[in-house]
Structure 1
Amino acid sequence: MHRYKGLESPVAIVTDVDGRSPGWEDLLYVGMTRATERLIVLTSLEDLHERM
């Protein structure tokens, strides 16, 4: 994710979103804001539900 800061891509795939790593929210934000056409986030429903 750090390499994509300030760059855009038509497709972004964000994996391993589990909320256990320090600074995960910042990395998720950077990853999710890079996609211009399609965003894919791979996580479990349990992890997603816990973070909302």
Structure 2
Amino acid sequence: MIILGIILLVAGFLLGISILWTIGIILVVIGVILWILGSLGHAVGGRHHYW
């Protein structure tokens, strides 16, 4: 999710499409939150690890 968000950020920046930029930011933020929760030992989506 984080990698997809970064790809959308770059594509949105290079192509000048603001909706890709916005979706990319949202995906990166959600991915980082899930990664932190998974690394702290909380079950995320029924899984004990999220990577």
TM-score range, shorter chain: 0.3 to 0.5
Larger Rg: 2
Larger RCO of the pair (alpha carbons < 8 Å, separation 6+): 1
